[in-house]
Chains A and B, each alone.
Chain A
Amino acid sequence: MLIKKPADIRPSEITDPADYAGRRAFLKTAAALGIGMVAGPAAALVKVPGRGTPMSGLVDTPYGDDLEPTGYEHVTGYNNFYEFGTGKEDPAHNAHTLKTRPWNIVVDGECEAPGEIGIEDILKAFPQEERIYRLRCVEAWAMVVPWVGFPLGDLLTRFKPTSKANYVTFETLVDEQQMPGQRRAVLDWPYREGLRMDEAMHPLTILATGLYGELLPNQNGAPLRLVVPWKYGFKSIKSIVRISFSRTLPETTWWKRAPHEYGFYANVNPEVDHPRWSQARHRLIGEGLFSSKHRTLMFNGYADQVADLYRGMDLAKFY
């Protein structure tokens, strides 16, 4: 069964009819029926490295067609995931202790149909798209990641958020046995992140289940993580076990820890420096020691799609 409670949601309630007009929706339908996904778009998917569990029936999308993905070794060997240690190579070394099956995500708060959904159901219910996105870390380095996932909004609508749902909060698993980094109170566990409802429903915002055509490696936030490509990486919370709709602004981990350094919005913005370093440029992972930095783009290069969300806001104040 897809959703434990309630189980009676019809597809017409899930997907906005307008979506059916689009190309992606056609592919979704095709994928759901298990047809026609072998030829055509599949040819343009990134090459699978053969290191993890391959995912079948992936939907190709135009997102990031012009971007060159960062090498698999770097994408999976260099990242921040403090639950497995504070060094950038710690997650790759330590995340093998995480058990990603079975894995349920509780959805609650301001919604009509709170419930729980398992990762296997998620993988079956939502057509899994490949989207190549830029990832910009608040520490002024960046990567290009070929994610596999689906729009967060597609999942959220199933739980029928009410009109009082102004924000969505996400929580990472807390389990010292599986996540040895949590034995020290480096952060206030569980890791929490949040989005404004319109940010959450934005078509660029996805829940990722894989990368490089394979199920997410543990160190990258298996089995399910958020990806918000126009925000600094720390917003894209990993190994999610809970999603809550709320009326008020959620207290998110880094923002609460150092509010003068990390804001709730955390939109990539070359004009607003981190107090300790400039955000104007970044280093692209995979390039050599002597290669120059790259200019950071407003909203990480996604301004055309997302700038409207913040019209009229002082981005130096709401950083």
Chain B
Amino acid sequence: MRTILTHDRWLRFVAKPVLFSACLVPFVLLVKGALDADLGANPLERVTDVTGQWGLRFLLLTLAVTPLRRLTGWNRLLRFRRMLGLFVFFYISLHFLTWVWLDQELNWGNITADIAKRPYVTVGFTAWLLLLSLAVTSTRGMMRRLGRNWQRLHRAVYAIGVLGVLHYIWLVKADLLQPLIYAGVLALLLLVRWRPRLFHGVMSLGRPINVR
């Protein structure tokens, strides 16, 4: 039998598994750290920080797919977008679970009170709810069923980005450098979409884009 490594097979059997494994690295390191009791002086803070930061990073990576596609003209990049998006959901769910379970110790009274009265929690929780709705509608079947509404719904990813960065800015005590770096990257990625002309020289390198 002849094996042809077509682009499609390459994507499915090589590129995607490699990317999938790479995306799991931060999680594997956390689990290893937890098993070795090697998560520093304040393990809860470490887990919360690592899962939140990686959630934000994967979110920015997801948002970078379309601009990168325009830049490189490599349309197949789009095939990785769903996986990246689901990893945002994965890490932010871990982040949320860490808070609910380890930080709040499943005290539902406190949890709901915090969501209601502390703006950075409200914003973070809202972002997670939106992520949840995108995750459950991420299948092909849901795409088909929702039709044009699917795209409308999935534009919520921009709101999630803004809420996520806001959540980070609001929880910092004094040093805004880190969250502002995320804010800057997010702003750039949004500008590329909404004001593409600003980037005309760079973006015209790629092939014409078919909207999806």
Q: Which residues does A use to contact B, with CB under 8 Å? A: 73-74, 77-78, 82, 86, 88-89, 139, 141, 184, 186-187, 257, 275-278, 283, 285-286, 288-290, 292-293
Question: Is A275 a contact partner of B174 (Cβ separation < 8 A)?
Answer: no
List the B residue with the shortest CB-CB distance to A87: B175
B110 within 8 A of A: yes
Question: Is A289 a contact partner of B34 (Cβ separation < 8 A)?
Answer: yes
Chain B positions within 8 Å of A187 at CB level? 174
Interface of A is mostly: loop
Report how far A288 CA is from B120 CA in the complex, Å: 26
List the A residue with the shortest CB-CB distance to B170: A276
B65 within 8 A of A: no
Chain A positions within 8 Å of B120 at CB level? 276
| Given A74-B41, A289-B44, A290-B102, 20 other A-B residues pairs in contact with their CB atoms under 8 A | A73-B41, A77-B41, A78-B41, A78-B42, A82-B174, A82-B175, A86-B175, A88-B41, A88-B45, A89-B40, A141-B45, A184-B177, A276-B118, A276-B120, A283-B42, A283-B44, A286-B41, A288-B37, A289-B34, A289-B102
Question: Is A275 a contact partner of B175 (Cβ separation < 8 A)?
Answer: no
Chain A positions within 8 Å of B170 at CB level? 276
Q: Which residues does B use to contact A, with CB under 8 Å? A: 34, 37, 39-45, 47, 102, 105, 110, 114, 118, 120, 170-171, 173-175, 177
Report how far A261 CA is from B19 CA in the complex, Å: 43
List the B residue with the shortest CB-CB distance to A290: B102
Question: Is A285 a contact partner of B42 (Cβ separation < 8 A)?
Answer: yes
Question: Is B174 a contact partner of A86 (Cβ separation < 8 A)?
Answer: yes
Report how far A292 CA is from B106 CA in the complex, Å: 11
Contact of B42 among A88, A184, A186, A277 (CB under 8 A): A88
Chain B positions within 8 Å of A186 at CB level? 174-175
Contact of A289 among B43, B110, B171 (CB under 8 A): B43
Question: Is B105 a contact partner of A292 (Cβ separation < 8 A)?
Answer: yes
Chain B positions within 8 Å of A275 at CB level? 118
Question: Is A141 a contact partner of B42 (Cβ separation < 8 A)?
Answer: yes
Report how far A302 CA is from B42 CA in the complex, Å: 24
Report how far A222 CA is from B127 CA in the complex, Å: 43
Report how far A291 CA is from B173 CA in the complex, Å: 25
List the B residue with the shortest CB-CB distance to A78: B41
Top 4 A-B pairs, shortest CB-CB distance: A78-B41, A86-B175, A289-B43, A74-B41
Question: Is B39 a contact partner of A289 (Cβ separation < 8 A)?
Answer: yes
Chain A positions within 8 Å of B37 at CB level? 288
Asked whether A288 and B43 contact (CB < 8 A) given A275-B118, A277-B118, A293-B105, the answer is yes
Question: Is A276 a contact partner of B42 (Cβ separation < 8 A)?
Answer: no
Chain A positions within 8 Å of B171 at CB level? 276
Report how far A119 CA is from B34 CA in the complex, Å: 42
